[in-house]
A = this chain, B = another copy of it.
């Protein structure tokens, strides 16, 4: 497992990119990049009484308006109790609306209020600025590779969720 030799022969191309050192650099790049990735929205959230969990909820409610709590749970990968605390404050603060399902009254369908949508925009814009700048700096081919590796890093189930969201784009 911890061999330090280059990887051997896959499909004939490039034999020299799978050393442990190369992999470690990728691991560290993920660590530092994720810090940058969350830094800008975190700054905005810190000003209000919110955290990263609120951002995630707002993001995916905006992405799939009318989604149920259970569906959001599957996307976020946390317990319903954890999500509920976040949703409760967002609803109390008037950023999210929770409507009892018409067909199944056990379900709650979630929507952003205009105030919620405004915060979503603010957070997304901040995050997109950095993303856009990184994409510009790296160039379109790098972006394609970036997306490929990220997708390959996901679990099977996450990959499904990600693809569903992607394909449901308006």
Which residues of A are in contact with B by a Cβ distance under 8 Å? 1-2, 7, 10, 13-14, 17-18, 20-21, 23-37, 39, 56, 59, 63, 77, 121, 124-125, 127-155, 158-159, 161-162, 165-166, 169
Tell whether, in the assembled complex, residue A166 and residue B17 are in contact, meaning their CB atoms are under 8 Å apart: no
User: Are A13 and B140 CB-contacts (below 8 A) given A25-B147, A36-B153, A131-B26?
Assistant: yes
Chain A facing B: main interface SS:
helix
Tell whether, in the assembled complex, residue A28 and residue B146 are in contact, meaning their CB atoms are under 8 Å apart: no
Within the complex, the shortest CB–CB distance from A67 to chain B, in Å, comes to 14
Copies, count: 2
Tell whether, in the assembled complex, residue B138 and residue A152 are in contact, meaning their CB atoms are under 8 Å apart: yes
Tell whether, in the assembled complex, residue B30 and residue A34 are in contact, meaning their CB atoms are under 8 Å apart: yes
Tell whether, in the assembled complex, residue B26 and residue A158 are in contact, meaning their CB atoms are under 8 Å apart: no
Residues from chain B with Cβ under 8 Å of A134 in the complex: 149, 152-153
* Closest chain B residue to A155, Cβ basis: B36
Residues from chain B with Cβ under 8 Å of A162 in the complex: 28-29, 32
